[in-house]
Amino acid sequence: MSEQDRNLAQMDEGDQDRHARAQALIQEAIDEVSTGESGRDPKDVKAALVAALARRGIENQPENWLESVATDAANGGRYIEDTRAAE
């Protein structure tokens, strides 16, 4: 089970803090590759996203999620993973 699949109501306070920090790091990586410019190659954006996540110690994300985030960014969008970190 991935971190994203865990039930937040069943987490203790330490797990919730760790989860919140991971979500914030994921949002940082997304924001790093989301420039607001459209027309980029989604494969290039995906590679940049994987690298940005790895620099933050986050690896092995679901392929469909990576592709979705990369496609949004390639089209000039900004995927929101963590609303608190995205503000």
C-alpha 72/C-alpha 78 separation (Å) is: 6
Residue-wise pLDDT tens digits, 7-63: 555 666 678 888 889 999 999 999 999 988 899 999 999 999 999 999 999 999 999
C-alpha 1/C-alpha 50 separation (Å) is: 20
Residue 48, pLDDT score:
97
**Tokens 């980029």 sit on residue:** 40
Q: Write down the pTM of the prediction.
A: 0.80
C-alpha 82/C-alpha 21 separation (Å) is: 10
